[in-house]
Amino acid sequence: MKNLVSAASPRRSLRDRIQTDMYLTRLDWHLEAVLTGKDRRATVKELRQAIAGDPRDTPSSLRDLGSPKTLARQYAVDDDRRPLWSIGIITAGLALLVYSALFLAFTFGMVAAVDANTPMEAHATFFFVDVTAFSSPDSVGMGWTSSWAWLIVPAIIGVVALLLGARSWRIFNRR
């Protein structure tokens, strides 16, 4: 009975499982450039099982595997690299988040400026969107109007960030 217990793989701590998940997630992002989805999932599953079954501690196991980018290159069948669409989606989301934060900071900055000089009304433009801020002794407010820019500007920002983040030019470099 003791031999069976010692032969079993050690129970990993929460920290070890998080380290493993982070490593495998980064590896999966890099594998997206060299393997198809089915092969990528099978490779990550196989590595997860190998790490879980390794009797050494998790940091040593991960260190021996090397960087996720280098390990992913070893799985490449040929030199063709695919676009990294998942990275592109994350990049687009971050770009839209930054755009929204800048837009709100601009708008609230205008409100703060007109509130300091009550009564007042101010008009400005942020990426083709007309922004209005007003302040009177009784109220303070803001508004924005635009015909096409309200949807088109964020869409352009999102698409450009997606294409750049995904390294979409790799589509054209394939043989």
Q: Are strands 129-135 and 140-145 parallel, antiparallel or unpaired?
A: antiparallel
For residue range 57-78, what is the model confidence (pLDDT) as tens digits?
888 888 888 888 888 888 877 6
Q: 3-class DSSP state for residue 174?
A: coil
Task: Calculate mean pLDDT across residues 121-132.
Answer: 88
The amino acid that residue 39 corresponds to is D
Length of the chain: 175
14-31 and 58-65 are packed helices; what angle lies between their axes, rounded to 10 degrees?
A: 20
| Range with the largest mean pLDDT of 53-57, 92-96, 135-139, 165-169 | 92-96
Residue percentage of the chain with pLDDT more than 70: 88
pLDDT at 7 over 60: no
Give the pLDDT band of residue 101 (cuts 50, 70, 90): very high
CA torsion, ordered 141, 145, 151, 157, to nearest 10 deg: -70
